[in-house]
Structure 1
Amino acid sequence: MSSHPDTGTADDGHRQAENADSTVLSAIKSLAHEQSDATDFDTAEPEHVILLSVDALRADHLGCHGYHRDVSPTIDHLATAGIQFSRAYSPSSHTREAVPALLSGQYPSTATTDRFRRNTQTIGHLLQGTTARSAGIHSNPFVSEGFGFGDGFDHFDDDMLVGGHWLTALAQRAVDKLRNRHYARAETITDRGIEFLRSQAVEGGRPTFTWLHYMDVHGPYEPPAEFRRRYVADRVTDAEAARLYKRAIAEPDSLTEREQQLLVDLYDAEIRYLDANIGRLLDELSRLGIRDETLILLTADHGEAFGERGYYEHPRFLPHELTHVPLIATGAGIHSREAIRAPVSTLDVAPTVADVFGVEYDGPGKSLAATTDQPDPYRVVFAQARGEGEDTGIHRYAGYRAGGVAYAEVDTETDERVFDAGVQLTLKARLDAHIDTDGYIGATDAGQSEARDVGQTENEGAEDDVAHRLRALGYVE
């Protein structure tokens, strides 16, 4: 079995075991005081819901999570004005599993096939048959129409040639190539979202669900010059930044401390740029006259590593820096309160949206409104990641709770399970049970057929376009 960079040494494990009971008891006692008699999250109030997901945004690079740099004033304000779930975890460490889980409220083992095609219903499907109009707007090829993710949405713009507005996408792609841009920047995603809301929420008078997925924080980190100058002392071209990012992934040991800091500086500049555009989105909602009617949910699909465990970017491991993500609810139906420290998952977004629009949801997620009313200090949330390359036969799991975390690797050929040293016995048992009941048991033939049919009908002849995007983002050579 492969080594597991998420775990520490054996001595570390013994020390964890010695302190585990007192740590967990202390954490749970502290969380027990979070319950509130007031209703701080009323799902009956919102007319519209906007889900803002940010690719590769780790929680601890935001001011509301204690970051030392002022990179996120708008997001920090949303956290103060709303409800921040400070122990939120993604169910995976990379987009191909994390976003499908976010959109469906199902673990990756259920949400996608082995080929990472959509394998279950998303929020778009849940809202069919209601008066609400739904939109998905982004430029990540892994959750594009070609992988089946446009199905269910009334409006879907993935910025690909096979997407909804192909003329717009074509023109945008031409401009992107000239500017060395390989995804739609935050201005573009925001503009497209506002146009949808103007046509449906304002002019059409309909309730809406709008999912905007921002790629700007994802590497290679190439922030606009105005924001780069705030954090980067030396002049760095986009081409140089891209080369450094790719070298960090391929040869992590070759980076100097200065180069490592440069990556962090560029990453922070991207966050500040994104934050400014979220501020612009809020201003536009006010101009449209719907801000007070709109619930905003802000989160990330996963985090990002900067050499903490010997790797960069977001490979398929499950440490906190890759799975601990921001999760904020603000706007209509929300009354400001102290941060909720009980563990939650981004799987909880789908049942929250279902609550707002009065539709049924069946899955492992729990509505954030219910958590706000009664935080569960004993809850364990899980994450999963399929291995890749030489680790293709390995499936990784993690269980997070207040005061503890457990990791496991499973060899899919032998079912051998290896848990990290020093893990608390009760948490190990919970994680073991999760592996038994919700592990990667394989997608159903029906699910694979459905997703494959979607891919063939919607994406036939577009593989080159998808491959170009993936190469540009550093996923493939």
Structure 2
Amino acid sequence: MTNIALIVLDTLRKDKFDEHFDWLPGRRYENAWSTSHWTVPAHASLFTGKYASEVGIHAGSQSFDCEEPLLAETLSNNDYTTRAFSANPNISPAFEAHRGFDDFKGNFRLEGLEEGMFDWEKFIAESRDMGYERFAIALKRCVFGDYRTLPSVKHGVKLKLRDMGIGSKVVSGGAEMALDLIQNAEFGEKEFLFVNLMEAHAPYDPPKPFKSVDVNIDTLYASMDRPSDPPKDIKTAYDDSVRYLSHIYRQVFDSLRADFDTIITVGDHGELLGEHDAWGHLYGLHPELTNVPLSIYTGNGSNVEISESVNLCDVYQTTLHSAGIETNSRGRDLLSITDDGEFVVEYHGLCERNYLALQNKGFDDLSHMDDELGGLVTGDFYGYETFEGWEEFGTSPYSSARDRLETLLVERDKRSVDNEKQDLDDEILGRLEDLGYA
């Protein structure tokens, strides 16, 4: 039986992966691409093997409540034990991303979202002017209210420690907690493990001794105006975060090798660090965002470089093929490809909470951010629409790459879904705000 681990290193740029992950063994896909520029639509492809637009997931509809079975559901229906750890609140039960998992855990960003937990974010927001007595009130509510008392109190302590910058397992992007869970788990046969780690994601705050600068960047605001910190410091902070991610992921990977036959390591998207006068990953389809790292380890320690163009739908297909499951989704088995793929990359605009965040900071002319943009990948060629026009890299096999892109976009079985008005509670909004999503 094949045990499979799918590890997403959230927001890891391909160039930084090449620089800091040379130790990672396996097949390295040098021409791998996301299907979008940010977490939710990228994971839609990882979980369904389709473009996000085909399953009705986009900036205005972020829940994984599509009709198609998700990856974990398909594996579970084929007798796999399915487990997940996520440090990203966008990939959480709040957005139905836990579908199909027998066990779904998260770091501090997700712990407070579990059923029966005291809503610390809401309480803190409502009691800012109460002074120190508010902590006694909160403790009383945790003890005598209809809550899971001990987990609620422990979560409140973690939040306080996080605000004080104490405790790496509290302030990290999840890898240390994931490592603990993996080392203490009793894995059997037919296991599927999904992990999302956020060390490379803003706020770029690795633990010592990796941290060399302090920054406080709002990436979306910086893209619309300018960053408040020196650009050199921001780039250093991101690099520090990736160095730490490489360090801790090496331990995670070594632990996984004891129990998993196939380990897929992939980035969901990259990050802009001042290129194109933009920061973060909510602005456009630039190659720094859409070209992603991808490696597959299958038990031997050799490194093989694969030059064919591949994307995240191929990761979905490869996962199921490794489990002996046939599917009619997009994508190909990455372990047996011999030629380049041809596929599109999608941009669907900003979600409502991003718009509100920008409007609250005085930005009014945001209509261009609603544009739906597309990109086209095949071989060494990448052409993509921008807010101003068109950019392309590599050798185009088409007389008009933009016309070819339009043909592929029209051929999608795009699902029409109304923009959702999801009422997110203060807890998850606080987590999203920490990450620059609200």
TM range (shorter): 0.7 to 0.9
Matched residue pairs, number?
A: 375
Give the Å deviation of 1:220.
Answer: 0.8
Aligned-partner residue type, residue 381 of structure 1: F
Query: Residue 192 of structure 1 aligns with which residue?
Result: 181
Give the Å deviation of 1:394.
Answer: 1.7
- Find the aligned partners of 2:386 and 2:277 in 1 and give their Cα distance: 19
Contact 2:348–2:372 (8 Å) recurs in 1: yes
Give the Å deviation of 1:190.
Answer: 2.3
> Deviation digits for residues 340-367 of structure 1, max 9, x if unmatched?
1110001111111111111222211111
3-state SS of 2:244 partner: helix
- Do structure 1's residue 47 and structure 2's residue 13 form an aligned pair? no
Query: Residue 429 of structure 2 aligns with which residue?
Result: 467
CA 1:266–1:439 in structure 2 vs 1: closer, same or farther (change >3 Å)? Answer: farther
- Do structure 1's residue 77 and structure 2's residue 77 form an aligned pair? no
Contact 2:347–2:373 (8 Å) recurs in 1: yes
Query: Residue 121 of structure 2 aligns with which residue?
Result: none
CA 1:225–1:367 in structure 2 vs 1: closer, same or farther (change >3 Å)? Answer: same
Give the Å deviation of 1:210.
Answer: 0.4
Aligned-partner residue type, residue 344 of structure 1: V
3-state SS of 1:406 partner: strand
- Do structure 1's residue 336 and structure 2's residue 302 form an aligned pair? yes
- Do structure 1's residue 320 and structure 2's residue 271 form an aligned pair? no
- Find the aligned partners of 1:173 and 1:95 in 2 and give their Cα distance: 27
- Find the aligned partners of 2:225 and 2:386 in 1 and give their Cα distance: 25
Give the Å deviation of 1:143.
Answer: 1.7
Aligned-partner residue type, residue 142 of structure 1: N
Contact 1:101–1:111 (8 Å) recurs in 2: no
Q: Which has the higher helix share?
A: 1
Aligned-partner residue type, residue 117 of structure 1: S
- Do structure 1's residue 99 and structure 2's residue 43 form an aligned pair? yes
> Deviation digits for residues 146-198 of structure 1, max 9, x if unmatched?
11111111111242433489669743463144223667531012222444xx2
Query: Residue 298 of structure 1 aligns with which residue?
Result: 265
Structure 1 residues not aligned, in runs of 5+: 1-45, 411-416
- Find the aligned partners of 1:101 and 1:109 in 2 and give their Cα distance: 10
Give the Å deviation of 1:463.
Answer: 1.4
**Aligned match for 1:358, one of 294, 310, 324:** 324
Query: Residue 213 of structure 1 aligns with which residue?
Result: 196
What is the TM-score of this pair, normalised by structure 1? 0.71
3-state SS of 1:143 partner: coil
CA 1:305–1:392 in structure 2 vs 1: closer, same or farther (change >3 Å)? Answer: closer
3-state SS of 2:344 partner: strand
**Aligned match for 1:405, one of 363, 371, 382:** 382
The correspondence of residues 58-457 of structure 1 with structure 2, limited to 5 A, is 58-62=13-17, 65=18, 67=19, 72=20, 75-78=21-24, 81-113=25-57, 114-118=60-64, 119=66, 120-158=68-106, 159-163=110-114, 170=152, 171-172=154-155, 174-180=157-163, 184-195=173-184, 198-199=185-186, 201=187, 205-228=188-211, 232=212, 236-237=213-214, 241-243=215-217, 248-249=222-223, 251-252=225-226, 259-285=230-256, 289-290=258-259, 293-332=260-299, 336-371=302-337, 374=338, 376-377=339-340, 379-388=341-350, 389=355, 390-391=367-368, 393-408=370-385, 424-425=398-399, 427-438=401-412, 440-443=414-417
Contact 1:395–1:409 (8 Å) recurs in 2: no
CA 1:165–1:340 in structure 2 vs 1: closer, same or farther (change >3 Å)? Answer: farther
CA 1:160–1:404 in structure 2 vs 1: closer, same or farther (change >3 Å)? Answer: same
Aligned-partner residue type, residue 187 of structure 1: E
What is the TM-score of this pair, normalised by structure 2? 0.77
Aligned-partner residue type, residue 308 of structure 1: E
Aligned-partner residue type, residue 101 of structure 2: F
Which shifted more, 178-187 or 360-369?
Answer: 178-187
CA 1:210–1:165 in structure 2 vs 1: closer, same or farther (change >3 Å)? Answer: farther
- Find the aligned partners of 1:365 and 1:189 in 2 and give their Cα distance: 29
- Find the aligned partners of 2:41 and 2:285 in 1 and give their Cα distance: 12
Contact 2:113–2:428 (8 Å) recurs in 1: no
Give the Å deviation of 1:381.
Answer: 2.5
3-state SS of 2:376 partner: strand
Query: Residue 4 of structure 1 aligns with which residue?
Result: none
- Find the aligned partners of 1:283 and 1:338 in 2 and give their Cα distance: 19
Contact 1:406–1:419 (8 Å) recurs in 2: yes
Which shifted more, 387-396 or 321-330?
Answer: 387-396
Which shifted more, 297-306 or 106-115?
Answer: 106-115
> Deviation digits for residues 360-409 of structure 1, max 9, x if unmatched?
222111111221xx2x13x2222101012424642111011223222237
3-state SS of 1:210 partner: strand
Which shifted more, 89-98 or 159-168?
Answer: 159-168
- Find the aligned partners of 1:127 and 1:165 in 2 and give their Cα distance: 29
Contact 1:56–1:300 (8 Å) recurs in 2: yes
Aligned-partner residue type, residue 54 of structure 1: L
- Find the aligned partners of 2:415 and 2:293 in 1 and give their Cα distance: 29
- Find the aligned partners of 1:150 and 1:207 in 2 and give their Cα distance: 19
CA RMSD of aligned residues (A): 3.0
Contact 1:88–1:327 (8 Å) recurs in 2: yes
- Find the aligned partners of 1:285 and 1:107 in 2 and give their Cα distance: 29
CA 1:251–1:208 in structure 2 vs 1: closer, same or farther (change >3 Å)? Answer: same
Which shifted more, 116-125 or 157-166?
Answer: 157-166
Give the Å deviation of 1:217.
Answer: 0.7
CA 1:49–1:465 in structure 2 vs 1: closer, same or farther (change >3 Å)? Answer: same
Structure 2 residues not aligned, in runs of 5+: 118-147, 164-169, 356-366
Query: Residue 145 of structure 2 aligns with which residue?
Result: none
CA 1:305–1:153 in structure 2 vs 1: closer, same or farther (change >3 Å)? Answer: same
Query: Residue 25 of structure 1 aligns with which residue?
Result: none
Give the Å deviation of 1:418.
Answer: 6.7
3-state SS of 1:362 partner: coil
